[in-house]
A and B are shown apart, each in its own frame.
Chain A
Amino acid sequence: MPLELADAIALPDSPEKDYLYTLNFGPQHPATHTTLRLILTLDGETIVRAVPDIGYLHSGFEKLGEHLDFNQYVTIVDRMNYISPVANEIAWHNAVEKLLGIELTPRAKYIRTIFAELSRIHDHLLCCGAAALDLGGFTAFLYAFYQREKIYDIQETAAGQRFHPSFTRVGGLMRDVDDDWIAKVRTFVKEFPKAHSDVRRLLDRNRIFIERTQGIGVLTKEMAINMSVTGPLARSAGVVRDLRKDEPYLAYGDLAGAFKVVCATDGDCFSRYLVRMEEMLHSLNIINAAIENLPTGPVNVDANSKVVLPNQMSVYRSIEGLIHHFELIMTNRQWKSPVEECYAATESANGELAFYVVGDGSGTAYRARTRPPAFIHFQLFPYLMQGHQLSDVVAVLGSLNIIAAELDR
């Protein structure tokens, strides 16, 4: 039964409620992972009211999006959900390409799909590992982080930067991947299930973990829909919705046989954990199917379409290539976007990550609105917390997977 917000925030000012006291939580607190702040009103150990106070990492991403062009802004969106950066890049260029009407080459689609799924694993690993860490299970965190290092290696091989690869470009990718990369992805696919089952063995039947997550922070299906919840959170509450199946983008249409939509019905912290763990295996299936069927051919669309930079040889050796390169680099030429606006959504690890891009005819977005799943999910917190104990705060926070930079932008 969804509670009214008015109940959740009304100050208890009647004199018989004087014994309630207020506890400040954050903005610098280990369980918040980064920066967010809660003002909790407590009755003993029980939480009567929780008011989130955010904005401690508001850095003006959307304003920057109005000043940097379509390719430059990819370095900024990277830093938005920084535990799965490539998912943001893919979402951003997905929106830009929809605005400009560009159809990617099959190889670019497959490589992007692999990266999108790797970043889903990346994100879920940190989320599950850190949730366990907050509840006292340090080993699961170390196992999870070790696998994250492997994904960092894969990103580094492809793009040169291990953390923020900035790998996508309008109309394709920064560069093609090589055999070394493919071998690394294959090894990862082979080795990951073992690490995954290690983490599961530590947590799935762990008495402490289960006691602290089962029945905590229950989200109902109606509430999930009414509060705009998407992604694993909604799926663990029984909303069967996955944009990869519903509105297939990239190569998900071809690979639809490789994965299923993972759902649960309880909607508590434990089922969120289970959904995330199971999703990782389905992501692994997608990666496996994609890497074995990786199409050959170019990764960028045809250079004549004037949306991608020509290759270095043609810039140096031909006058057309030079002019073309110059036109894309000059700030007053660049891409010709339609005077239109479009909303393009992708399924990131956290939920529906979308961009609403307003084009004004130039190569820079007039407005680049992000639909950040973490921001929308954090509204739930006061409702989920009502009536729980103080120690459940960390369990719920960990299962919501709030990324401060995405929360505040």
Chain B
Amino acid sequence: MADTERIAVVRERFDATASLLRGKLGSDVFTTSTFRDNCRLIASSDKVYVILEACKLHGFDMLADMSGADYLHYPDAKDRYGVWYCLVNTSTGERVIVKTYVNDPNPTLPSVYGLWKGCDWMEREVYDMYGIEFKGHPDLRRILLPDEFSSFPLRKDYPMRGKGERHNFNPILRSES
């Protein structure tokens, strides 16, 4: 593969970062895993804020992406929801993905609004789609779906065609309009 070299460099850099963070936070705060050029720090939901804060101090100044998934039918999944934060260091181009898991009932995570303002709408979207609450978010409302909508459509137990909400309006007849 042409980018094996690049992947080797990326992983080497990641190992350095991970051992640095371990030195700061203790060795059992997170585990690591890698896949191609993706390098992940995996932590439990109560530790994740500490790790993200340490990452930010370490130089990861941009939150490139943040979203989640519902692992209900996933092979060998132990937890229901996963949430990931893709961080970038804009001066060195280094990337790291911080991943965490939460469970029913009342899945809750701390909001990272204090660290990256860019998370504002992304957290609202995760809330809208999965119902994961972010403690400390200044304005946690539904963003894409109407306010009266009562399900979380990207959960795996919600049918793709919905439950009939989409056709729940009155038609206008030609003679009366």
A residues bordering B, Cβ < 8 Å? 2, 5-6, 9, 54-55, 58, 60, 62-64, 66-67, 98, 101, 103, 223, 225-230, 239, 241, 246-247, 253, 338-343, 345, 352, 354, 356, 358, 360-361, 366-367, 369, 371, 375-376, 378-379, 408-409
Contacts and interface: CB of A to CB of B under 8 A. Distances in A.
Given A63-B154, A103-B2, A366-B69, A228 B146 contact: no
A376 B121 contact: yes
A409 B69 CA distance: 16
Contacts of A223: 117
B10 to A, nearest CB: 9
Contact of A225 (B62, B74, B86, B139): B62
Contact of B90 (A241, A342, A367): A241
A314 to B, nearest CB: 27
A260 to B, nearest CB: 17
Contacts of A341: 35, 38
A366 B67 contact: no
A369 B63 CA distance: 15
**Which of A55, A98, A223, A241: most chain B CB closer than 10 A?**
A55
A343 B86 contact: yes
Contacts of B118: 226-229, 376, 379
Nearest to B118: A228
A342 B145 contact: no
Contacts of A356: 65, 67, 84, 86
A63 B160 CA distance: 7
Interface string B145-166: 1100000011000001000000
B144 A408 contact: yes
B120 interface: yes
Contacts of B121: 375-376, 378-379
Contacts of B133: none
A225 B69 contact: no
B32 to A, nearest CB: 14
B153 to A, nearest CB: 6
Given A103-B2, A358-B69, A226 B117 contact: yes
Contacts of A343: 38, 65, 84, 86, 95, 97
Interface of B is mostly: loop
B130 to A, nearest CB: 11
A356 B61 CA distance: 20
A379 B1 CA distance: 38
A5 B120 contact: yes
A5 B139 contact: yes
A352 B93 CA distance: 13
Given A58-B145, A369-B69, A9 B117 contact: no
Contact of B143 (A55, A352, A358): A55
Nearest to A379: B121
Contacts of A227: 116-118
A110 to B, nearest CB: 14
Contacts of A226: 61-62, 116-118
Nearest to B67: A369
Closest CB pairs A-B (n = 5): A228-B118, A55-B144, A367-B69, A58-B144, A371-B65
Contacts of B144: 54-55, 58, 408-409
B120 A379 contact: yes
B83 to A, nearest CB: 11
A55 B36 CA distance: 34
Given A6-B138, A360-B75, A361-B75, A62 B116 contact: no
A340 B37 CA distance: 13
Contacts of A230: 64
**Which of A2, A9, A60, A230: most chain B CB closer than 10 A?**
A60
Interface in B1-33: 1-2, 6
Given A5-B138, A55-B145, A379-B118, A352 B90 contact: no
**Which of B64, B84, B142: most chain A CB closer than 10 A?**
B64
Interface string B25-60: 000000000011010000000000000000000000
Nearest to B158: A63
B72 to A, nearest CB: 10
Contacts of B125: 375
A369 B143 CA distance: 17
Nearest to A55: B144
Contact of A354 (B65, B74, B76, B139): B65
Contact of A366 (B74, B95, B117): B74
18 contacts: A6-B138, A55-B142, A58-B144, A62-B129, A63-B154, A67-B160, A225-B90, A226-B61, A227-B116, A228-B116, A228-B118, A253-B2, A338-B35, A339-B75, A343-B65, A343-B97, A361-B75, A376-B118
B69 A2 contact: no
A37 to B, nearest CB: 12
Given A342-B35, A356-B67, A225 B61 contact: yes
B1 A103 contact: yes
Given A55-B145, A360-B74, A342 B2 contact: no
Interface in B94-114: 95, 97, 113
A239 B90 contact: yes
B117 A2 contact: yes
